[in-house]
Amino acid sequence: MTSSLVMQDSRFGFCCKYIPEDGDAQAARAMNTSTVTMAYLGRLEPKAAYDKLSAVVAHNLEAFRLQIAHVATRPKIERLHRLSSDLLPGYTHSSCKEFYCDPDLRGLIEAKLAAMGQLARDSDVRLSMHPGQFCVIASANPSAAVSGLAEFEYHAEIMALMGYGDGWHPHGAHINIHGGAKALGVEGIRSGLVRLSHTARNLITIENDEVSYGLDYLLPLADDVPLVLDLHHHWIMSQGEYIEPEDLRVARIVASWRGVRPVSHVSVSREVLLRDQGIGVLPDFKGLVAMGIKPRDLRAHSDLMWNEAVNDLVMRHLSWSDFEIEAKLKNVASQALARHVEKRRASGEIGIKFQFS
């Protein structure tokens, strides 16, 4: 089939944290979420604990708004953003349930999230979330499975309050997780999917990782859930393979999204490990390991998208997917990659469409 997901629709996004390029510490505090531990709240009297929690929530809601507002001012290619999971500290913890039932706090959360969702849609900002790796929908440990499902439903509730609770991945919104432990296999993941609420089921995506669920292992789930391709994870798991857009596995990933433009992830190994690597040459996994670099060290993300050959690979994949940039310098890295792409576009060095046979 011929893809209608043309290059002009492509966009990049940074993940969760905003880094001011001028180093403004006040702006960094304002635009990023904070948290509070359950242990700290537990040492306070109930009113003091409520006041502390509500203050953190109010700050985090404003940080969310400021991040979305910032992304809304960027060129369209940069209007993709992953929101942090720590918006509502302790939301699934028993000690905080009464606090979050308070009408004033609940009203604040609902009003602010609804306004932020509207801002994102009005500004054509695509949003996502990515719970921590402990959030899995299938586990051999019954307690872990219950906790994982509750955590995922918390993310789905946030998305629903922002206006993304109806339909299949509305406006491209999604909540991405890893497959988790391999013991239960893809059938275990399928069993977890049916335990999700309807809203959560319509928002979930699953990405390949570098330890348990590589891309080839996840592909049988393509009829059940949208798959997120992580190029760096695949490079690690496969010991050096770089997937091109024409790969038939990409066609299955596209189909898994059922008409919604997919999102993929990309990062590069740390600059300090590959200090002698030419920026115009794709890193050679097996060669690097032969030099004594441990595979687990190659998994760590770089500060910036420093390797132009990897960036060019990402550009080729823009024919079918948006990309979240998983680099430590967050928006600084994604903006630099966007400039790289626009420069290549201006020079006519990238094509527009691709075909699957």
On the question of pLDDT at 226 being above 90, the answer is: yes
Decide if pLDDT at 1 tops 60: no
- Binned at pLDDT 50, 70 and 90, residue 89 comes out as very high
Q: Which of 57, 55, 75 is nearest to 65 (CA)?
A: 57
217 vs 135 pLDDT, higher one: 217
Query: What pLDDT does residue 350 have?
Result: 57
How far, in Å, CA of 209 to CA of 320, rounded? 20
Predicted confidence band at 357 (pLDDT cuts at 50, 70, 90)?
Answer: very low
Average pLDDT rounded to a whole number, residues 16-25: 96
Local structure of 109: helix, strand or coil: helix
pLDDT digits 0-9 by tens, 27-56: 999 999 999 999 999 999 999 999 999 999
Distance (Å, whole) CA 139 – CA 119: 37
CA–CA distance, 221 with 15 (Å, rounded to integer): 25
Q: Which residue has the tokens 């979930």?
A: 204
Cα 265 to chain centroid distance, Å, stands at 7
CA atoms within 13 A on the CB side of 53: 31
Are 38 and 93 a contacting pair, CB within 8 Å?
A: yes
Name the fold adopted by 7-346: TIM Barrel (3.20.20)
Per-residue pLDDT averaged across 198-219, rounded? 96
Which whole-number Å values give the CA distances from 83 to 31, 60, 212, in the listed order?
12, 11, 25
List Cα–Cα distances, 256 to 116, 233, 261, 270, 328, in angstroms: 28, 19, 10, 31, 29
Say if residue 6's pLDDT is above 80: no
Mean pLDDT of the chain: 93
Residue 354: pLDDT band with limits 50, 70, 90: very low
In the chain, the percentage of residues whose pLDDT exceeds 70 is 95
**What is the spatial distance between Cα 216 and Cα 249, in angstroms, rounded to a whole number?**
8
Q: Quick check: 261 and 5 in contact, CB under 8 A?
A: yes
Q: Which amino acid is at 322?
A: D
- Mean pLDDT is lowest, of 140-154, 266-280, 342-356, for 342-356
Q: Starting at the edge strand that comes first in sequence, how are the strands of the sheet with 322-325 ordered?
A: 227-228, 204-207, 174-178, 126-129, 80-83, 12-15, 322-325, 263-266
Tell whether the model's pLDDT for residue 22 goes beyond 70.
Answer: yes
- Residue-wise pLDDT tens digits, 103-121: 999 999 999 999 999 999 9
Task: Output the pLDDT for position 135.
Answer: 81
Query: What's the rounded Cα separation, in Å, for the pair 153 and 271?
Result: 37
Average pLDDT in the 149-161 region?
96
pLDDT digits (tens, 9 = 90+) for 229-286: 999 999 999 999 999 999 999 999 999 999 999 999 999 999 999 999 999 999 999 9
Q: Residue 304 contacts by C-beta under 8 Å, 6 or more apart in sequence?
A: 271, 327, 329, 332, 333, 336
User: Percentage of the chain with pLDDT > 90?
Assistant: 86
Q: Which residues contact 14 (CB under 8 A, 6 or more apart)?
A: 81, 82, 324, 325, 327, 330, 331, 333, 334
* Residue 181: per-residue pLDDT: 76
Whole-Å CA distances, 244 to 240, 281, 293, 319, 356: 13, 16, 26, 11, 12
